[in-house]
Amino acid sequence: MKPGLRLKSLTPDAPLVEVQFGGEALMLPEGDNLAAALLAAGIDGFRQTPYQGVARAPYCMMGICFDCLLEVDGVSQQSCMVQVRAGMDLRPARQRREGPYASL
């Protein structure tokens, strides 16, 4: 995976825990903001958009925009509002629809 955002960390390394992202193991700082931790780990494909099917990444980091949406243990959640826990099963939120809604 191509590295995404480059982030410089000012904090001493927190203890890392293992999570699954799209079936692959990742080590993230326990208790950290999930969206920020994933960005720092080089992830920049979060939710997939309904029509174009392209990846979005966190935009607002404060629970407004829903672009950081992930399936966290099977439930769609704004990852910027979630804290890292060991063993989380994370997947990009898929919202692919048969579109467009031309008939409406």
Partner 1 sequence: MHRFDLAIVGAGPAGMAAAREAAEAGLKVALVDEQPRAGGQIYRNVGQAAQTYGAQLGKEYLRGVPLVEGIDHEAITHFSGHSVWAIEKGQLALNSPDGARQIGARCVLLATGAIERPMPVPGWTLPGVMGAGAAQIMLKQSGLAVENAVLVGSGPLLHLVAVQLLRAGAPPVALVETRQRRDSRRALLMWRLMLRAGRYIQRSLADLNELRNAGVPRHMACADVALLGERRVDTVSFSSGGRRQELSCDAALLHHGVVPHVQASRAAGVPHIWSDKIQAHVPVCDSWGRTEVPRVWVAGDGAWIGGARAAELSGRIAGLAIAHDLGFVHSPERDRRTSGWIEERDFELSLRPLIEKAFPPYAAALAPADNVTVCRCEEISAGEVRQAVRDGATGINHVKVSTRAGMGRCQGRMCAAALARIVVRESDAKIDEIGTLNARPPIKPVTLGALAGMRREAEGSEDD
The contact set with partner 1 (CB under 8 A) reads: 2, 4-11, 32-33, 36-37, 39-40, 44-46, 49-52, 54-67, 69, 75-77, 81-83, 101, 104
- Tell me how far, at minimum, the Cβ of 81 lies from partner 1, in Å: 6
Q: Of 24, 14, 1, nearest to 85 (Cα)?
A: 14
Provide the residue count of the chain. Answer: 104
- Closer Cβ to partner 1, 10 or 25, answer by number: 10
- Closer Cβ to partner 1, 8 or 24, answer by number: 8
